[in-house]
Amino acid sequence: MKPTALIAVSDKTDLGYLAEELVRLGWQILATGGTASFIRDLNLPVIPVSEYTKSPEMLGGRVKTLHPLIHGGILYRRGNMEDESEMKAQGMRSIDLVVCNLYPFQETIARDGYTEAEAIEQIDIGGPTMIRAAAKNHEAVGVIVDPTDYKKVIDLLDEGNDMEAFDLSVRRQLAAKAFMHVSTYDAAIFNFMTDKNTVFPDELIITAQLKSKLRYGENPHQKGALYEIRDNHGSVEGAGGYTQHPGLEMSYVNVLDASAAFDCVADLEGPAVVIVKHTNPCVAGMVDSTKDQDQSLSKLYERALINGDYVSAYGGIIAVNRPVDFALAEAIRDVRHPELGSRMLYDIVIAPAYDSDALQHLKKKSKNLRILEAPLGSPQQDFRQVEVRGIKGGLLLQTPDRTPEIEFESVSNKPLTSDMEADLGVAWTLCKHVSSNAVVLVKDRVLVGMGAGQPNRVGSAKIAVDQAKHRTDGAVCATDAFLPFPDTLVVVADAGCVALAHTGGSIRDEDSIVAANERDIVLVTTGYRHFRH
């Protein structure tokens, strides 16, 4: 008897190729309504499932394949005498290959304007049942859920045109893929049915799709990969948010740093440049519309580089929140290290877009420069988005650190000027992206000093002041939490800072206010904390 394939697909990509090849190889094809019509229109022989089962499709197509003749043909155990006897008694034919993909539920809920009724109607019932049956019985039955696997299976069948040629190890791989296909589908439905206002449901299903295998992990002897997580709407959250122009492949650390750099620059409202090293901004600046005669990104880049930590910036990641024009590309490529005199070297440039001449110019900079594009906005505005971090035996989840715009108000005697307030806005935003305990110094909207990751905040303050050198005179400071003691304020005030923003709320807040008044510095409390571990 000829081997039989059961085909029921929503996605008909390359279905013509598959059907033609199966017929050429002498297979019989069973197919459901729309799939059978598609194959028949190709003038290929096909047996409709309803004709085989003698049971019409019912309830508007909701019931098609839920029939013993279908599932018996898939599930019976080849070589089992009792099963073989039942198959013969019931007049069932053997189904040797199941080709099925599911109703487009994820695509439906990812579409604007869909209705609840439309989404529910796209919940497939018969498809998952057939797929699971074939995958369970993969020792005898092949299952395909992905059109990209058609050719692999046809090539195997071409070698022997029977299931013996269809290697068991391949059938097992396809079965695993089939179970993943169904579980991902069910996860999308679960997330859809979960209360949309619940950020942390009692049970959590996270599904992810491999985006790329990375050049290496955190170190060259480690392997790494990047996965995209599907959100509650079934659509893919672009991992890292970027697409890459052709070039050297990304490593684990590259992805971390690029994400950190773009998250930081996207938080700054005006045209801005950020350079990140090991996820911390070491050079950063925003165009000062009140002072900068030339408000181009290229001039901002040069000013931020000269006034920032250009030593750390070497080999870092540049992010901008505006399209890269030729002038900026030229500056990135040609501006030299302020001390070494050599051209600055960067691993990555990431921006919302590139002018064509800018893109070509950057490609000439280095064959190792990775050029990334990332959209501003949208997914970052979704309150349901969560950050996921793995720990031993579990996952930690939190909502992103999105604080409202702060209206700075001095709690010390010295009044806050508009210029100080503008600089504090930049400093407060930047310190959110610096590892705790963060101390950030900003002058004329440009980062001039930064201390990060120290066990105590005063240690970070000393590093920031030492890094800034003479540029602390007239600068402002922001730190990521409250000041338990005045020591951090004393360090930055004695170095020349004119204002400091902290969370406030310490039982010793008054001590810091007294210290601020003694040193004639503005002290601001924000009411928000910005720890980043």
Contacts of 380-385 spanning 24+ positions with Cβ under 8 A: 380/263, 380/266, 382/231, 383/199, 384/196, 384/199, 384/231, 384/232, 385/231, 385/237
- Cβ-contact 224, 183 below 8 angstroms: no
Q: Which of 278, 299, 363, 414 is catalytic?
A: 278
432: annotated active-site residue: no
**DSSP per residue over 225-276, as a string?**
EEEEEE-TTS-EE-GGG-EE-SSSPP-HHHHHHHHHHHHHHHH-SSSEEEEE
277: annotated active-site residue: no
CA atoms of 460 and 463, how far apart (whole Å): 5
Smallest CA-to-CA distance from 400 within 375, 358, 366, 432 is with 432
Give alpha helix (H) positions in 451-496.
Answer: 457-468, 487-494
Give the torsion sign (CA, 133, 136, 138, 142).
positive
Q: Which of 12, 67, 136, 245 is catalytic?
A: 136
Q: 3-state DSSP helix/strand/coil percent for the chain, to nearest 5? A: 40, 20, 40
Q: What letter would DSSP give residue 354?
A: B
Smallest CA-to-CA distance from 49 within 32, 63, 37 is with 32
CA atoms of 153 and 142, how far apart (whole Å): 9
Q: Which residues form the catalytic set?
A: 136, 278
